[in-house]
Every structure is written in C-alpha cells, then in structure tokens.
C-alpha cells in the first residue's frame, strides 16, 4: 500500500477547479461572458487522468482516503457525470440567467464531496463528504430563486436531508461506541470477532446507518423527498442529482455493508431484500400514473435504486460487479434523458409535460432519437446499456438463490416499459402542438448528446471491457 498525498489528487483537482470558477465569477465584468464551465471541465479531466494513473496502486492519504480500484472506478464515473453535466449546462445557464460561477462552483464542490464519499475509508469522513455534497445540491435545487417550486423543493430536500444525516450520525456514534473506532478496517475486524454474538447495539448501529443510506438512494419508504425535489429543480440539476448522488451513495453503501458489516450480512440482507422489492414496486407502479416527465423519471430513479439494491443483496461476484456497471450505464442514460428535457425548456417554462413531447420527431429529430435511446435503455431493452445492466443484476440474484427478488425485478422492469414507450409514442405518433417552439441546440450540447448516445449503445453492444474493470475494481475492497 502506498501512502502519501496521491490518493487525494483527483479530489484536489476538482476542488481547485471549483475555486477557480468562483474566482473567475468574481473578476468577470458586468455583461461579460466567460467560459467558466471550461475551467470545470479542465479540473475534471485532470481528476480523470490522475485517477487512471492511480489504478492498481492502492494509495492511501491521511489513513482515511483510499484510492483503491473501487473508489477510482466510481471517481471515473463521477468525472463523466460532471463533464456531461457541465456540457449540457452551458446552454441552459446562459438561457435561464443562472449565475455561471456560482452554479459551476456548486456542481464541482458537490462532485468533490461525491469523490470523497466514494474513496473514504472512515465513517466520519463519509459523513463529512455526505454533508459537502448535500449542501451543494440543496443550493443547486433552489438556484432559480424566483421560482417558488424550486424554493419549495430545496426546502423539502434540506429538511429531509438533515433528518437522514441525523440517523447516519447516530449510527456512526453507536459503531464508535462498540468498536472504539470509525475506521472501516478496524470496525470490520471488531465485527468479525463479534459475528457469533447477538449484541442488540450492533444491530441498532447497523439499522441507523441503513436508514441514512436509504434516504440518499431514495429507497422506499425513505423516498418522499425525491419526486418534489426532482420536479422543482432545474432539469439538468435533477439529472446531476439522480446520477452523481446515487453513484456516491451506493459506493459508500457497498463499502460499509459489503466490507465492514459483511459479518452481519445474515441480519441486514433480509431487510435490504424487503427494501429492494418495495422500491422496485412503488417506483414502477406510481411512475405509470405520472404525466410530468421529471416526476416520471423521479419514480424511475427510485425503481432503479431498487435494482441496484438487488445486486447488493446478492453480494456474489456477478452482483458486486453489476452494481458498478449499472451505476455507469444509468449515469450516462439518465443524464442524456434529463439533458434533452433541459434543452427543450425555456427561461420562463420547463417543457416537462407529456404533451410537450407530442410530435417532437418532426421538430427535433435528433433530440427525439436520443430521448428514444435513453428511454429504451431505462426500460432495459436491447441493445442498450440498461439491458446489460439489468441482465447481470437479475443473473446475480438468481445465482445467489434470490429467485423471488429476481422475479419482482423482471416484472417491474416489464411494467416500466409502458411509461417509457408512452413518451416514445407521443414523440413519433402524435401531432405537434401549434405553440411548440423550435429550439436551437448549441454545439457543446450536441457533443454531449452524442457522447451520451454513443455511450449507451456501446455499453449495450460491447460491455465486456467495462464489466471486467468493474469486477477487478470491486475485488479490491473484499
């Protein structure tokens, strides 16, 4: 194991880029346009390159940040999320009059918290990272201060987020009281020695941590904040929240429960089984009734969190690798879908109603084609990344003997195809509204759309390389 400052280099690149964006905003003249988002992309590219160079080195900084392959894989996924978010945002920020420096700095600070959360090897550091990303995302949710829906969404998200943080902090306190440390290696050693005991305090600490993580991944019944926050936030912020926060939360979830708390898997696995089943069912059933695309994709995000929990319950080699592959595939897919929604909106109205997509093929064939690819991937239809992700998730459940969970997952996946294809039918088989405006898409946004579309199809046709990397990376923490 290599010790030093190497492990925090990706985190430092993103943090310095955030500070550079703040400085650029401070020195920007009134009415002057500066490519502030470009500073963020430079920092993210630096983080991605440094993460690639750290691969297989297993570096550690300060004893609590570990750049193992697992953390680096999630870091690279977050780098892709950040770059696509900034590329889609370039047109939206200028159109909606959002303060560019403030917006990009918050996105980058949130990404810094996510990277710290994915690489942290200590419960207190995970908590600090969670608060860093959460505070930035709360502000991003309400960044359109004149919009009452955004203010309401941000306030609800803040209140319930603080509530979940309290659960998580109490879980850390119980764990420290028992193990005498918050470092995951020491906690894991203590729990392994106590694996034959039936100490209720261990189970209390485990339950509190589980509740805290469940809030962040929108697992039922801790999903209440998700539809309102997703609907009220700007579409591109919603895409960022639904992908980046979920990736970071699941990375920490897997590190804590599949490594430190693995000796007590017989106690937490049945509970997560119930959470996974309830999350898939509610996300799908309620999603069918939605006519607002952002709320529909919010419930879709809840259901996809349930699919990821299936891989966590299975906890075999296929399931562990499938979690990371699914996070990457879902991130590209969901960002593409929310990118289209963001680009079709205007400064005074977000066109996120189902009727707004009537006849989209005749006005914007490129946007409708990408939205179709994204929706088919979310529904798990071949040849898309979503199909491969679900195939491996359900294969892991069957391989681990969780046949009931696999059946629930497949049935809910089939039902979800209905509300995805409903949008496709609206785009291709309905007449366009007479007041539907034509939207000019900037070259940067076109490039982001192409990256998302190619990524979805590539991972659906040639997934082996990424699956191998996922398997190699998650093996470093077990």
Write the DSSP assignment of 110-134 as a string of letters: HHHHHHHHHHB-BHHHHHHHHHHHH
Token couple for 184: 């995951």
Return left, alpha or beta for 383; rule: phi > 0 is left, psi -120 to 50 is alpha, else beta.
beta
pLDDT band at 435 (very low <50, low <70, confident <90, very high): low
The residue among 303, 291, 313, 363 whose CA lies nearest residue 334 is: 303
Residue 391 CA to chain centroid, in angstroms? 20
pLDDT at 434 over 60: no
Residue 118 CA to chain centroid, in angstroms? 12
Q: Who has greater pLDDT, 4 or 88?
A: 88
Token couple for 476: 């470093």
Give CA separation, 327 vs 78, 112, 233, 243, in Å.
10, 18, 22, 8
**8-state DSSP, 347:** S
Q: Write down the pLDDT at residue 160.
A: 87
Give CA separation, 29 vs 16, 20, 26, 372, in Å.
22, 16, 8, 41
Report how far residue 207's alpha carbon sits from residue 257's, in angstroms, rounded to the nearest whole number: 11
Reported pTM: 0.94
Residue range 101-122: average pLDDT? Answer: 93
Token couple for 61: 């900084």
Count of domains forming the chain: 1
Lowest mean pLDDT among 16-30, 114-128, 252-266, 369-383: 16-30
The residue among 400, 264, 412 whose CA lies nearest residue 319 is: 400
Q: Determine if the peptide bond prior to 394 is cis (ω within 30°).
A: no
Instruction: Please name the helix (run of DSSP H) or strand (run of DSSP E) that holds residue 66, with its range, or none.
Output: strand 65-67
pLDDT at 439 over 80: no
- Residue range of the domain that includes 341: 2-477
**8-state DSSP, 7:** G
338-363 tens-digit pLDDT:
999 888 877 677 777 778 888 888 88
pLDDT at 169 over 60: yes
Q: Write down the pLDDT at residue 33.
A: 61
CB 22 within 8 A of CB 101: yes
pLDDT at 26 over 70: yes
Token couple for 329: 């595939």
Q: What is the percent of the chain with per-residue pLDDT over 70, rounded to a whole number?
A: 96
Q: Who has greater pLDDT, 352 or 456?
A: 456
Where helices occur in 356-430 by DSSP H, the ranges are 360-363, 365-379, 385-399, 403-429
48-91 tens-digit pLDDT:
999 999 998 888 888 889 988 999 999 999 999 999 999 998 88
N-to-C CA span, the chain = 15
Q: Write down the pLDDT at residue 3.
A: 62
pLDDT at 229 over 70: yes
Report how far residue 105's alpha carbon sits from residue 109's, in angstroms, rounded to the nearest whole number: 6
Query: In angstroms, what is the C-alpha Rg of the chain?
Result: 21
Which of 123-127, 156-160, 257-261 is modeled with the greatest confidence? Answer: 123-127
Cβ-Cβ contacts under 8 Å for 326 (sequence gap 6 or more): 304, 307, 308, 311, 389, 390, 392, 393
pLDDT band at 107 (very low <50, low <70, confident <90, very high): very high
Q: Write down the pLDDT at residue 74.
A: 94
Residue range 258-273: average pLDDT? Answer: 89
pLDDT at 32 over 60: no
pLDDT band at 319 (very low <50, low <70, confident <90, very high): confident
246-257 tens-digit pLDDT:
999 999 999 999
Token couple for 161: 């987020």
Cβ-Cβ contacts under 8 Å for 329 (sequence gap 6 or more): 377, 385, 386, 388, 389, 456, 459
**Mean pLDDT rounded to a whole number for the chain:** 88
């Amino acid at each position: 194991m290599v010790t030093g400052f190497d492990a925090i280099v990706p985190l430092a690149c993103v943090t310095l880029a955030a500070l550079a964006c703040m400085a650029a905003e401070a020195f920007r003249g009134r009415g002057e346009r500066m490519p502030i988002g470009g500073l963020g992309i430079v920092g993210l590219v630096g983080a991605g390159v440094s993460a690639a160079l750290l691969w297989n080195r297993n570096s550690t900084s300060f004893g609590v940040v570990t750049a193992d392959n697992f953390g680096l894989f999630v870091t690279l996924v977050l780098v892709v999320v950040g770059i696509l978010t900034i590329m889609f945002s370039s047109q939206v920020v200028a159109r909606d009059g959002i303060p560019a420096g403030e917006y990009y700095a918050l996105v980058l600070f949130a990404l810094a918290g996510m990277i710290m959360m994915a690489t942290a090897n200590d419960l207190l550091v995970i908590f600090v990272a969670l608060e860093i990303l959460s505070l930035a995302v709360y502000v991003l949710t309400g960044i359109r201060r004149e919009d009452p829906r955004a203010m309401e969404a941000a306030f609800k998200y803040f209140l319930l987020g603080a509530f979940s943080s309290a659960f998580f902090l109490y879980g850390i306190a119980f764990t420290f009281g028992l193990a005498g440390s918050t470092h995951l290696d020491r906690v894991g050693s203590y729990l392994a020695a106590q694996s034959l005991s039936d100490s209720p305090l261990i189970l209390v600490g485990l339950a509190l941590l589980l509740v805290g993580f469940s809030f962040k991944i929108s697992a039922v019944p801790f999903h209440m904040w998700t539809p309102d926050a997703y609907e009220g936030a700007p579409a591109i912020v919603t895409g960022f929240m639904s992908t980046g926060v979920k990736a970071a939360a699941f990375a920490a979830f897997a590190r804590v429960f599949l490594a430190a708390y693995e000796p007590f898997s017989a106690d937490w696995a049945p509970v997560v089984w119930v959470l996974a089943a309830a999350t898939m069912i509610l996300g799908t059933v309620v999603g069918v009734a939605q006519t607002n695309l952002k709320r529909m994709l919010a419930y879709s995000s809840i259901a996809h969190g349930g699919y990821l929990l299936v891989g966590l319950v299975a906890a075999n080699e296929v399931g562990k690798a499938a979690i990371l592959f699914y996070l990457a595939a879902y991130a590209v897919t969901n960002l593409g879908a929310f990118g289209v929604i963001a680009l079709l909106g205007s400064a005074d109205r977000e066109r996120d109603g189902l009727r707004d997509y009537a006849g989209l093929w005749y006005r914007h064939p490129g946007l409708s084609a990408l939205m179709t690819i994204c929706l088919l991937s979310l529904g798990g239809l071949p040849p898309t990344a979503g199909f491969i992700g679900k195939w491996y998730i359900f294969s892991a459940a069957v391989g681990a003997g969780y046949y009931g969970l696999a059946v629930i997952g497949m049935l809910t996946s089939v039902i979800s195809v209905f509300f995805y294809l409903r949008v496709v039918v609206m785009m291709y088989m309905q007449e366009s509204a007479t007041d539907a405006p034509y939207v000019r898409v900037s070259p940067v946004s076109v490039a982001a759309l192409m990256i998302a579309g190619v990524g979805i199809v590539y991972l659906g046709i040639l997934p082996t390389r990424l699956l191998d990397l996922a398997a190699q990376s998650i093996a470093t923490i077990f």
